[in-house]
With several copies, the nearest count.
Chain A
Amino acid sequence: MKKIINKPEEFVVEMLEGLYKAHPDLVTYTADDLHCLVRSDSPVQNKVALATGGGSGHLPVFLGYVGKGMLDGCAIGDVFQSPSADQMLEVTKRIHGGKGVLYIYGNYGGDVMNFDMATEMAEMEDIEVRTVLVKDDVASATADRADTRRGVAGMVFAFKIAGAKAELGASLDEVEAAVTKALNNTRTMGVALGACILPAVGKPGFHVADGEMELGMGIHGEPGIKTGPLATADEITSEIVETIMADMPLAKADKVAVMVNGLGATPLEELYIMYRKVDELLAQKGVSIHRQYIGEYATSLEMPGASISIMKLDDELEALIDQPANTPFFTQV
């Protein structure tokens, strides 16, 4: 196991201790529980509060996007495990600034059920809570079952859009509408070239044979749509972009935001090689890239692989994606 850790069962807590020591000006925790992370200046009064949550092992997702212009709080689970409803409730109570709370998180059973429980409990405390589920992974279900798709890197677009909208003073309805539109316009697909190692397990929980790749594999190793010999960067990129565009047609003069996201072990150099091809493919269609994010935005520990997300922009989304943001892991000026 090639890991720099102490006790596996302390992995998440020690990571969080390091995080709070590093960024005390930006984030803190509530309810005496390190897993309940909130903006240091929370509650921000008269702003719709935004919360997310999910398992650890995906940095900067989820907690890395808590900060000005993005989210207000995050409930943090064990590696690849949902946090508890209790923890979500504590975050919700602490960040509520009087204009309601919006939950934005990935469509995973455990997370959904816990957030639903938290919602019921928050409502008993007279906090209005809404939910927008991220379901951007086109590889996880066919279009007719799109509602069961997983949430992956596209959630960062959702955080960005919601954060900007809330920061501008919008109501809960308006923020919910903007992020819903953003997600309707967002598709992601990934490729894994290998597995990752859960600290508590010490060995990979799934396998991608050497020289093979798994197109569409999920960020916890959920099976993809195609296993086969490792293709070239151009072939992989083309297949991903085509799959996305078959699900969400793009037309001449459309504007998009693009994210080429590394899953953990894939060098930045390779992400730029992929981006080069994305740019070429979209240019061929007359689609222009208004803004691009290339780097590690949503990872799976040390998984080798990458994902590509495309968000179609209208005027509102374009203005929102351009707003500044400042979190421990995401700074846009």
Chain B
Amino acid sequence: MIRGTDISKVLMTAADSLIAMRDQLNELDAAMGDGDCGLTAEKGANGIKTYLAQNPADNNLGKWLAKAGMAYNKAAPSTMGALMATALMRAGKEVMGKAELEDIEIGKMLKAASIGIQERGKAKVGDKTIVDALDPAADAMLAALENGDSLETAAKAALLAAQKGRDSVIEIRSMIGRANWVGDKTKGKVDPGTVLFVGMLEHILNQPSSQPGSTLA
């Protein structure tokens, strides 16, 4: 059984990883966006850390997660903030009213987050956004958990899928957001959103950071 304190700890770790990736994300975003992806990630992370510190997980994990999402959005309302807020709200919706969770519910939450982000941002897989790392990760995790694998094994499968997803869109053109306006010059460049998601997962799972492009033949 997974408890609120476990989730709170994971979210804290995730937030710390965003802060640690600040400069890297800014740099990637400067090459194909407006260079603020790290700044807004840091702001959002600090917002959620404050929320977590002030709000220990209560017996309704769903509502508690949705409010965490709003805290992230308030602190960093731009693209990534709206996406993160939506992700947390949709994940929360999956477990509304519950105080403890089964492993499988983690997989369902991740997939709900991915669908939420796609609905909110209107990006599909292949548009070269965070979705390209997140959605395959969610699918891999859910499949592994449905297969009876442990949470850790499933999470590692998710990470591998996320890394592959990140790398699979490096060569294509961004189709959405600011990067879309940069157009063909985005070909060959790494999408900061995918790096953000992979890096977060790596940090949570205590894995070494991988280089973008490392899974490519």
Among B75-83, B135-143, B200-208, the one that faces the other chain is B75-83
**Number of residue pairs across A and B with beta carbons under 8 Å?**
81
User: Are A117 and B85 in touch, CB under 8 angstroms?
Assistant: yes
- Check B36–A109 contact: CB distance below 8 A: no
**Which chain B residues in 162-179 approach chain A with CB under 8 Å?**
176-178
Q: Known contacts being A150-B181, A222-B181, is A82 close to B82, with CB within 8 Å?
A: yes
Which of A15-23, A83-91, A159-167 binds B? A83-91
**How many residues of chain A have a CB within 8 Å of chain B?**
29
Kindly identify, within residues 54 to 99 of chain A, every residue whose CB is under 8 Å from any CB belonging to chain B. 77, 80-87
B30 interface contact, C-beta 8 A: yes
Given A110-B81, A113-B82, A205-B34, are A218 and B181 also a contact pair (CB < 8 Å)?
yes
Contact B182 A80 (CB under 8 A): no
Residues of A within 8 A of B30 (CB): 205
A151 CA to B120 CA, complexed, in Å: 19
Contact of B212 with A by CB under 8 A: no
Chain B residues in 8 Å Cβ range of A194: none
Instruction: List A contacts of B213 (CB < 8 A).
Output: none
B182 near A223: Cβ-Cβ < 8 Å: yes
Q: Are A114 and B181 interface neighbours, CB within 8 A?
A: no
Scan A116-151; emit 1 where CB is below 8 A from any B CB, else 0.
Answer: 110000000000000000000000110001001010
Is B77 a contact of A116 with CB atoms below 8 Å? no
In whole angstroms, what is the CA distance A166 to B9 when docked? 51
Interface pair A82/B77, CB less than 8 Å apart: yes
Contacts of A200 in B (CB 8 A): 39
The residue that B77 contacts in the complex, of A84, A140, A145, A150, with Cβ under 8 A, is A84
A interface, over-half SS: loop
> Chain B interface secondary structure, helix, strand, loop or mixed?
helix
Per the 8 Å Cβ criterion, residues 50-87 of B in contact with A are 70, 73-74, 76-83, 85-86
What are the residues of chain B within 8 A of A181 when measuring CB–CB?
Answer: none
- Whether A221 sits at the interface, judged by CB under 8 Å, is yes
Chain B residues, Cβ within 8 Å of A277: none
Whether B176 contacts A113 by the Cβ 8 Å rule is: no
CA A208 – CA B177 in complex, angstroms?
22
B40 beta carbon closer than 8 Å to chain A = yes
Which 7 A-B residue pairings sit nearest by Cβ, starting from the closest?
A: A113-B82, A110-B78, A84-B77, A110-B79, A109-B79, A109-B177, A82-B77
Give the distance to chain B from A75, nearest Cβ to Cβ, in Å: 9
State whether B74 touches A148 (Cβ < 8 A).
no
Residues of A within 8 A of B81 (CB): 82, 84, 110, 114
What residues on A are CB-neighbors of B76 within 8 Å?
81
Q: A residues within 8 A CB of B185?
A: 223
User: B71-105: which have CB < 8 Å to A?
Assistant: 73-74, 76-83, 85-86
Q: Which residues of A contact B77 (CB under 8 A)?
A: 77, 81-85, 87, 110, 114
Chain B residue, CB-CB nearest to A223: B182
CA distance A71 to B130 in the complex (A): 35
Please tell me if B24 contacts chain A, counting CB pairs below 8 Å. Answer: no
Known: A113-B120, A141-B181. A85 touches B85 (CB 8 A): yes
**Complex CA–CA separation, A73 to B12 (angstroms):** 36
Q: List 9 A-B contacts (CB under 8 A).
A: A81-B36, A84-B74, A84-B81, A86-B70, A108-B178, A113-B82, A148-B181, A221-B34, A223-B182
Distance from A269 Cβ to chain B, minimum over Cβ atoms (Å): 18
Interface centre among B73, B78, B81, B83 (most CB of A within 10 A): B78
Closest to B76 in A: A81
Chain A residues 167-217 with CB under 8 Å of chain B are 200, 205-206
In the bound complex, residues from chain A placing their C-beta under 8 Å from that of B78 are 77, 81-82, 109-110
On whether the beta carbons of A86 and B74 are closer than 8 Å, the reply is yes
Pair A81/B82 contact, Cβ less than 8 Å: no
**Chain A residue nearest in CB terms to B82:** A113
The residue on A at minimum CB distance from B178 is A222
Q: For residue B180, which residues in chain A have a CB less than 8 angstroms away from its CB?
A: 141, 145, 148
Residues of B within 8 A of A109 (CB): 78-79, 121, 176-178
Smallest beta-carbon distance B2→chain A, Å: 28
- Contacting residue for B73 out of A108, A114, A206, A220, CB 8 A: A114
Taking the closest CB of chain A, its distance from the CB of B72, in whole angstroms, is 10
Taken together as a complex, chains A and B put the C-alpha atoms of A206 and B30 apart, in Å, by 8
A141 neighbours in B (Cβ, 8 Å): 180-181
The smallest beta-carbon distance between B181 and chain A, in angstroms, is: 5
Set of chain A residues within 8 Å of B79, measured between Cβ atoms: 82, 109-110, 113
Q: Which residues of B contact A116 (CB under 8 A)?
A: 120
- A188 CA / B47 CA spacing, docked (Å): 37
**B121 (CB) vs chain A CBs: closest residue:** A113
Q: How far is the CA of A52 from the CA of B83 in the complex (A)?
A: 20
State A109–B120 Cα separation when bound (angstroms).
10
- Which residues of A lie under 8 Å from residue B74 when comparing CB positions? 84, 86
- How far, in angstroms, from A206 to B31 measured CA to CA in the complex? 10
Q: Which of A80, A81, A113, A145 has the most CB of B within 10 A?
A: A113
**B73 A85 Cβ-Cβ under 8 A:** yes
